[in-house]
Structure 1
């Protein structure tokens, strides 16, 4: 019997690799001789670097970069097993975790640190970068990122404007003559499920700005500034970012990448499925176990378990796909209609969140053991 284990991480509790290990522990209590394949997954957000590094036998690197408020923070990135592909989570450098209720201010936060990570990968000779762009604290249209790569953002007197989306109204000219020489040779694949455009009611500022601390007045200012920025980009660089699908992701970082780099957008889960060779590993599988911290009706909109289930069914419609989660939310019944065989919660009893996070591994193992005992009994005709 063959089991393919393809879960996402359980946030603040287990990495995807640790979930795989716990799943296997439970399965082997019932099926000690089973063929078990680990494929740690992610959907482009938190855990993507680790999942792709684990899947390709790559390496994790650390470096100090400029955080969203200008102070130094420690960020990580990965080099995949091929040695020429890097993977970055922009949140590692420019994420919302670096600000709090008192300090979050999308008028001044910057993506400069994300640009520093990209520069480091270019300096290492990487020819491709996978860049997950969720969880940002920023609303600068990716101007900080471009600045770190050598772009100059000048006012009417030829001086550099301050960093942050609140200062883009001062922008008079963009000079890209000093941008990193290896940037043109590198393809950046953006891992994002966001299709919002840069400006307007569905734009970066209006939709995502409030969660980053933007008041209604700030939203208006930022939206107006990003539109001005887009006009200068079109005039000086010749790229139209105002209405580009996905341009509003990560406070406009999507638009900045379209403006200043050679890039394409893809769904995060699709990228991880491809680089992990999930479909090849699903060949001949009887069961596919997946999961993440919470599963609900939104899971079918690009989340890891849904992407894994679809991949499994494309390989073989008879593969049974079982999902486990720390929390089962609303309307999971709709997921059965999509193709899931069964969905299980792992929490054994009412408890505080700290205890549940600490006991995640044993809860995963016990749940998978219980599932497998049911499978064994069913196979025996009992």
Structure 2
């Protein structure tokens, strides 16, 4: 870090899930750095996310806009208030699917993995289209659903019919009965809009590593439910593949199609959506490469730094984007990577915020304070190394 210039210190973390938003974490990191550098440095907070929880808040913070709040159905059809964001120029909607179909909103009742659906997400899309947007950014992590995104398409006017021409049951329960997909009533605005689906996992739609097998149980699916859901998703994929003239494997085996119970499947097949890594989508939306270009010291972090963190998640994104000469300090609730693994991933150093043996509930209560204190220690070390 050149002593003759005013350094730029950037904090670009993910959320510390369950305890601290990305924005709060970024500001805590900069508070720690400011305790060391004071007015001798410039500071920039860039809250990030990877397509899961916190993606909406990350973009709202960077865009500097307030969320729009509307009524939408949760995964089991109850009305709730849900948020989404519209960019300053009014062209782009940022929709976090879990605002409507998220698992937390249905955790007050026994989970219904065969019935939960994404219709409420489609209601958010419709409201965004009513506002005149031409681009939909849809992050899909944290869902309670397993139905291939059919609820979203039903909200947009598509009908999923059985052999007798009747609409099938919503949710995963009806997937195996679909014989015909009638998209004649699809809202034309949904077709002309540009869609990008942000995913935070690389699992395929079907099979032992697919949506039902990997994520179904956490959404309440029993061992008996999993093969029913998997078979239903496969049937839906085969119908869509035949409709579009592509091999079924293009849909059943493609990486990322297993996200959020298969939402990418219908979005790609019926809306022409592009599936992208969530961290990369957020990076592009906030202009991360340009913001990061002048950095002299970079902080990032998340709740747990592990092997997934350096494979397409936020920390990996920051490591790939920051200037080569700028140290990257990662602050996390728990650090599970060895120093040599951190260096191989482009992380200069990583620190846990835990002051010693402690339980998670105690740490959650002081997360922001501990992030700031840890950042101050790291910043002091970096400044001393430059001054020396």
Alignment TM class, shorter chain as reference = over 0.9
Contact 1:14 / 1:361 at 8 angstroms: preserved in 2? yes
Deviation at 1:11, TM superposition (A): 1.7
1:180 matched to 2:187? The reply is: yes
Q: Deviations over 1:120-149 (max 9, x none)?
A: 111111111111111211111111111011
Once the two structures are superposed, residues 282-325 of structure 1 have per-residue CA deviations (whole angstroms, 9 ceiling, x without a partner) of 2232111111111122211212112101111xxx3111111101
The residue that corresponds to 1:12 in the other structure is 18
Deviates more, 1:188-197 or 1:120-129: 188-197
Q: Within 5 Å, give how 1:344-363 maps onto structure 2.
A: 344-363=351-370
> How far apart, CA to CA, are the structure 2 residues paired with 1:373 and 1:330?
23
* Partner in structure 2 of residue 277 of structure 1: 287
Q: 1:1-382 to 2 correspondence within 5 Å?
A: 1-33=7-39, 34-100=41-107, 103-236=110-243, 241-312=251-322, 316-331=323-338, 333-381=340-388
Rounded to whole Å, the distance in 1 between the matches of 2:337 and 2:328 is 20
Gaps of 5+ in 2: 1-6
Indicate conservation of the 8 Å contact 1:149/1:179, yes or no: yes
Question: C-alpha separation between the residues in 1 aligned to 2:344 and 2:218?
Answer: 33
- In 2 relative to 1, CA 379–112 (structure 1 residues): closer, same or farther, beyond 3 Å? same
TM-score normalised per structure 2: 0.91
Superposition deviation, residue 232 in structure 1: 3.0
Structure 1: any 5+ residue segments left out of the alignment? none
Alignment partner of 1:59: what SS? Answer: coil
Q: Give the CA deviation at 1:236.
A: 4.9
1:183 Cα deviation after fit: 0.8
Counterparts in 2 of 1:234 and 1:283: CA distance versus 1, 3 Å: closer
RMSD of Structure 2 on Structure 1 (CA) = 2.0
Does the aligned pair in 2 maintain the 1:3–1:37 contact within 8 Å? Answer: yes
CA shift digits 1:244-289 (9 cap, x unpaired):
4432221111102112212101111111111222221222321111
* Residues 26 and 45 in structure 2, CA contact (< 8 A), matched pair in contact too: yes
